Chain A
Amino acid sequence: GNSVTQMEGPVTLSEEAFLTINCTYTATGYPSLFWYVQYPGEGLQLLLKATKADDKGSNKGFEATYRKETTSFHLEKGSVQVSDSAVYFCALSTLGWGAQKLVFGQGTRLTINP
């Protein structure tokens, strides 16, 4: 079956540090890949997405590249801010009939200290 594996947290960084959160996946077919962010007390917000191999998703300084050869979709940001503190989820969805379903990784809690 389809699955997503994220690096375990929590991750604690200082402001302006470089961020990488690893994500690898297993899927049949050609999945779309996503990063979602969850701030305390809120639901999930889509951060970025990529729908085919070699696509790069980007938003708010975050980037992730869909690497089919390594089945990975690592999240990166060059300089994190305190406001980036949240839980980050990597997810996939396989295209096709009736495929309105997301499979999530376990989530990585990120804390940025000033």
Chain B
Amino acid sequence: KAGVTQTPRYLIKTRGQQVTLSCSPISGHRSVSWYQQTPGQGLQFLFEYFSETQRNKGNFPGRFSGRQFSNSRSEMNVSTLELGDSALYLCASSRRHEEGQGYREQYFGPGTRLTVT
């Protein structure tokens, strides 16, 4: 069974540009969550999508957005990039079927390393 895949694995952008990252969940998983990992702030929750709807959102500015498609694949977008957006962006999928069923184990992808210069 294929794991969570993220593309691209590495990305270099300049300040002011925008970027789109992609995540393909494990087959059958309908929930996709995104996390940002930096040396200073550690791992922080960005948002979760389930059935093409954002279900949870972390404390990030509106420059960070995402969406989920009908096949459960998800993208996140960061507009007007800042140097502080340099990070490893991790995607995780889980087999949550209905809202309110409680926590389901999340499986993480290898991440996309974004460098903003």
With A95-B103, A96-B102, A99-B103 as contacts: A104 and B55 at CB distance below 8 Å: no
Binds B, one of A43-51, A58-66, A67-75: A43-51
| Chain A CB within 8 A of B87 CB | no
Residue total for B at the interface (Cβ-Cβ under 8 A)? 29
Chain B interface, DSSP helix/strand/loop, else mixed: strand
The answer to whether A98 and B100 touch across the interface, beta carbons within 8 angstroms, is: yes
Residue total for A at the interface (Cβ-Cβ under 8 A)? 26
Instruction: Name 30 A/B residue pairs within 8 A (Cβ), A-sorted.
Output: A32-B103, A41-B110, A43-B108, A43-B109, A46-B106, A46-B107, A49-B105, A91-B43, A95-B103, A96-B102, A97-B99, A98-B55, A99-B102, A99-B103, A100-B31, A100-B33, A100-B48, A100-B55, A100-B56, A100-B94, A100-B96, A100-B104, A101-B45, A101-B56, A102-B33, A102-B35, A102-B45, A103-B45, A106-B42, A107-B43
